[in-house]
Structure 1
């Protein structure tokens, strides 16, 4: 029978947690990525701690003794990753306190604009106070990993999680396939947009949706949130082999794309073109045709130059290229938009 229990972590001072940070897994699969806090938000957290304000609870998944020996970690973060990483980066002198900081307990102490090391040298007692601040850490013990993912999703329901982050918390076979695909070279080296809010996961999910909709309906469907979420839930369990087949199909096409595109490719600067390129390479593989990056770059240049031409004299511009450009400015998830862009690009490449 599944169970979940919670209890406060004892002696959870900042210094103790910092000293044990190697035992803490900061990026379990259900987590969203760090690195999205602004400098001002980081400074506000340190301000709150030094001035002894309450801060939101941090949740740890505490591993069993058996799991600890296998994983080499004692905990993983369910919620509070950005808070912990902010505290650790402050201790590592990676940013300074705000220039307008006021220490409320003693206005004669001026630490505005100081780093952690500056405080240690100028006000050692204040540094000790900071180190001794007790973080409100709640430990979670469970025998069902899905309950951890469910808890993470519930804790963040009031926070601005995007669709990919919420979907990642579902767990299961399809979500694992999404993660696996997003770790391939196309995403780690070739695309120009980052994965701070799981943008790579979103594209990987759309690629898998192309394969699942082809299997289920023999046609392409909208790549909107409702269909991506439905796919992740539908293939969560019970279809492991089928999901593996979908993943293998995607991997073949993604590997072909990775060969064609260069690192940090400007052609892959936005998410909007990614599904069109996927379908293009899928068609090329079926026809045993090699797609040249030069041809794709030439097409991209034609679209840009045609736009400039239309601004000067609309009648001289190429309508098909204008239509491709127009569709690129609108939603990229409608199947009609995807198909039309694919048609125009395919005809240019004689596919």
Structure 2
């Protein structure tokens, strides 16, 4: 039977953890992305440490000796990535204390607006106090990484994890396939929207859902959270060959898309269009039809121009293009919406 054990990490001062940060994996697969805290939130954390406030617990997964030999890492962060990255970036002088910072131990000491280096030069004892602050780190030992992923999901249940971040914590074969698809060039080079909250994972999951539902029922279904989550759970294990088949089909379509779109393509500016384009390129591949970017660009311009025409005189506008425009704004994960937009763009492009 699998086990999971926890205990406080000894001697976990800020300076020690900073000195060992190369031995800490900050982005295990179940983690959400870093770098999304506001400057004000970062400053508040450093304020709390300097003024001796408690901060929330940080959880580390302690690797086995074998895992250490393979990865060169001793720990990975289960929860607390943003806090650690904030502390490390303060030490690296990437931001300063807020302009209204007050040092509560001695109101005569003015640290407002100071960097870590400023404090080290002007108030070395306070710098030592900061370095010696003991971080509340809990070490987790387990023989089953799925328990780690489950723990991460549970720890963040009260935090604003979005659907893609929660799904990423499920683990398993399908989640791994989602990650791998999201690393293809379409996402790393061509799309304009960022992946700071796993937006690329979300689109990749929708593509795989199209293929899994096609296999199961030969039908297109809603690409909503409930169906994406169900897919990730259903194909978590024992269906690796099927998952790889879905992934290969998706990869083939994506590679076709990559030859048409340019880097940071304005046509790929939102997630809402991505499923429609996928279906369009899949159909073109099946029927051996070549899609060129000029046609897609011209269609996009016709939709925009038609919107302007409707603003001046609604009766002069093309109804189907207006409907495509409307559907592109609302309910883009509804199967009826996807089908209708796919029909309109297909007919306009002659595909």
Deviation at 1:5, TM superposition (A): 0.5
Question: In the alignment, which residue of structure 2 is the partner of 1:182?
Answer: 182
Question: In the alignment, which residue of structure 1 is the partner of 2:13?
Answer: 13
CA–CA separation in structure 1 for the residues paired with 2:128 and 2:219: 64
Matched, 1:129 2:129: yes
Matched, 1:198 2:198: yes
Matched, 1:212 2:209: no
CA–CA separation in structure 2 for the residues paired with 1:275 and 1:26: 32
Deviation at 1:35, TM superposition (A): 1.1
Q: TM-score, normalised by structure 2?
A: 0.99
Question: In the alignment, which residue of structure 1 is the partner of 2:280?
Answer: 280
Deviation at 1:315, TM superposition (A): 1.1
Alignment of 1:86-165 (within 5 A): 86-165=86-165
CA–CA separation in structure 2 for the residues paired with 1:255 and 1:56: 44
Deviation at 1:65, TM superposition (A): 1.2
Question: In the alignment, which residue of structure 1 is the partner of 2:238?
Answer: 238
Deviation at 1:332, TM superposition (A): 0.7
Alignment of 1:255-270 (within 5 A): 255-270=255-270
Deviation at 1:258, TM superposition (A): 1.2
Alignment deviations for residues 246-267 of structure 1 (CA, whole Å, 9 cap, x no partner)? 0000000011111111111111
Deviation at 1:66, TM superposition (A): 1.5
Question: In the alignment, which residue of structure 1 is the partner of 2:321?
Answer: 321
CA–CA separation in structure 2 for the residues paired with 1:122 and 1:301: 59
Alignment of 1:268-347 (within 5 A): 268-347=268-347
Alignment of 1:31-46 (within 5 A): 31-46=31-46
Question: In the alignment, which residue of structure 1 is the partner of 2:50?
Answer: 50
Deviation at 1:36, TM superposition (A): 1.0
Deviation at 1:329, TM superposition (A): 1.3
Number of positions where the alignment pairs a residue of Structure 1 with one of Structure 2: 351
Runs of 4+ in 1 over 4 A off after TM superposition: none
CA–CA separation in structure 2 for the residues paired with 1:193 and 1:329: 16
Alignment deviations for residues 181-203 of structure 1 (CA, whole Å, 9 cap, x no partner)? 00000001111011111110000
CA–CA separation in structure 2 for the residues paired with 1:42 and 1:256: 42
Question: In the alignment, which residue of structure 1 is the partner of 2:348?
Answer: 348
CA–CA separation in structure 1 for the residues paired with 2:2 and 2:146: 10
CA RMSD of aligned residues (A): 0.6
CA–CA separation in structure 1 for the residues paired with 2:206 and 2:329: 19
CA–CA separation in structure 1 for the residues paired with 2:128 and 2:9: 20
Alignment deviations for residues 195-216 of structure 1 (CA, whole Å, 9 cap, x no partner)? 1111100000000000001000
CA–CA separation in structure 2 for the residues paired with 1:293 and 1:93: 45
Alignment deviations for residues 162-184 of structure 1 (CA, whole Å, 9 cap, x no partner)? 11111111110000000000000
> Unpaired runs of 5+ in structure 1?
none
CA–CA separation in structure 2 for the residues paired with 1:67 and 1:109: 47
CA–CA separation in structure 2 for the residues paired with 1:119 and 1:47: 13
Q: TM-score, normalised by structure 1?
A: 0.99
Matched, 1:64 2:64: yes
CA–CA separation in structure 2 for the residues paired with 1:198 and 1:70: 27
Alignment deviations for residues 268-313 of structure 1 (CA, whole Å, 9 cap, x no partner)? 1110000000000000000111111111111111111110111011
